Chain A
Amino acid sequence: GNSVTQMEGPVTLSEEAFLTINCTYTATGYPSLFWYVQYPGEGLQLLLKATKADDKGSNKGFEATYRKETTSFHLEKGSVQVSDSAVYFCALKSEKLVFGKGTKLTVNP
């Protein structure tokens, strides 16, 4: 079946550091791929998405590229801020939305 594997956290970075959160998937067909973010005490919000191979999703300085050859959708940001502290979920959608287990990011000043 479809599944998503993302790097386990927690991840702790200093402000302005480079961020990568790895995400790989297993799916039949050509799923859409998503990154969701959950800030403390809130529900999930869509951060970015990509619908086909080589698409790049971007939002709020975050980027992820749909790599079909490596079945990956890694999240990157060049310079993180304290306000980026949250839990990040990679997800794919085929028939249903399938989530990874989440990666908690803490950014220290």
Chain B
Amino acid sequence: DVKVTQSSRYLVKRTGEKVFLECVQDMDHENMFWYRQDPGLGLRLIYFSYDVKMKEKGDIPEGYSVSREKKERFSLILESASTNQTSMYLCASSLPSTGTLGEQYFGPGTRLTVT
């Protein structure tokens, strides 16, 4: 089975801190994604990556950056955390779209609270 793991289930940070959220997948997937999930807004794509050292902005990249130094690891970085970044963050991975329909596999999520 595909496994996507995220470094923390719950995280509390202070405003202005630099925050790293880590995601690791064990199925050699090319594609990796970061979403945030908020009540009434569903999932919104922050950044994604189709290959090592490659990144593309999603729908809401402002205030975030990412790093993909190794194929299995995709990090989301909040350069200076703000209270409006309090949310559930979900990581996902998938094969290229020509594979299994681009079906995405999700990690359990990190609930980040910024105070």
A42 and B6 CA atoms in complex are apart in Å by: 12
Does B90 reach chain A (CB closer than 8 Å)?
A: yes
In the complex, B106 has a CB within 8 A of chain A: yes
**Does B104 belong to the interface (CB within 8 Å)?**
yes
Is B90's CB under 8 angstroms from A46's CB?
no
Q: How far is the CB of B37 from chain A (nearest CB, A)?
A: 8
- By beta carbon, the residue of chain B nearest A90 is B42
In the docked arrangement, what's the CA distance between A6 and B20, Å?
33
Q: Inside 8 A of A36's CB, which chain B residues have their CB?
A: 106
Shortest beta-carbon distance from A80 to chain B in Å: 22
Residues of A with C-beta under 8 A to B40 = 101
Docked-complex contact A99 and B42, CB < 8 angstroms: yes
Bound-state Cα–Cα, A6 to B77, Å: 31
Count class of interface residues, chain B = 20 to 34
Write the nearest CB–CB distance from A79 to chain B, whole angstroms: 27
Bound-complex Cα distance A29 to B105 (A): 24
Closest partner residue, chain B, to A45 (CB atom)? B106
* Cβ-defined contact, A93 with B102, below 8 A: yes
Scan B50-66; emit 1 where CB is below 8 A from any A CB, else 0: 00000000100000000
Cβ of B79 under 8 Å from chain A: no
B4 touches A43 (CB 8 A): yes
Q: Let me know if B45 is at the binding interface, CB within 8 A.
A: yes
Judged by a CB distance under 8 angstroms, whether A49 is at the interface is yes
Sample (24) of A-B pairs whose CB atoms are under 8 Å apart: A32-B102, A41-B108, A42-B109, A43-B90, A43-B92, A43-B106, A43-B108, A43-B109, A44-B90, A44-B92, A44-B104, A44-B106, A46-B105, A93-B101, A93-B102, A96-B45, A97-B45, A97-B102, A97-B104, A99-B42, A99-B43, A101-B40, A101-B42, A102-B42
B residues whose Cβ falls under 8 Å from a Cβ of A: 4, 33, 40-43, 45, 48, 58, 90, 92, 97, 101-109
Those 8 A-B pairs whose CB atoms lie nearest each other, nearest first = A43-B106, A101-B42, A44-B106, A99-B43, A43-B108, A99-B42, A32-B101, A43-B107
Residues of A within 8 A of B (CB): 32, 34, 36, 41-46, 49, 51, 89, 93, 96-97, 99-102
